[in-house]
Amino acid sequence: MKQSVVNDLTTEEVKARIKEEVSNLQKFKMQHAVSPMDNPIKIRTTRKLIARLKTELNKRMSQASK
């Protein structure tokens, strides 16, 4: 997911997407621990997406408090 797509999401959608991606990350880590994944890059891209979403959420929260 690109940053432009993240910017277009509403705040509630960002929060929901963070929860969804965190659960996906946990699932990917568990799968990788049990047996090696075909594409372990999914773990890295999921972590980066979570970081993008959290950064956008923090930016919105700081703008709302000003």
Whichever domain contains 24, its CATH number is 1.10.287
Report pTM. Answer: 0.91
Per-residue pLDDT at 66? 83
Structural domain tally of the chain?
Answer: 1
| Contact partners, residue 29, CB within 8 Å, separation at least 6 | 43
Give per-residue pLDDT as tens, 7-65: 999 999 999 999 999 999 999 999 999 999 899 999 999 999 999 999 999 999 999 99
Per-residue pLDDT at 48? 97
Query: What DSSP string describes 29-48?
Result: HHHHHHS--S-THHHHHHHH
The C-alpha atoms of residue 11 and residue 16 are separated, in whole angstroms, by 9
| Domain region containing 51 | 3-65
Per-residue pLDDT at 1? 83
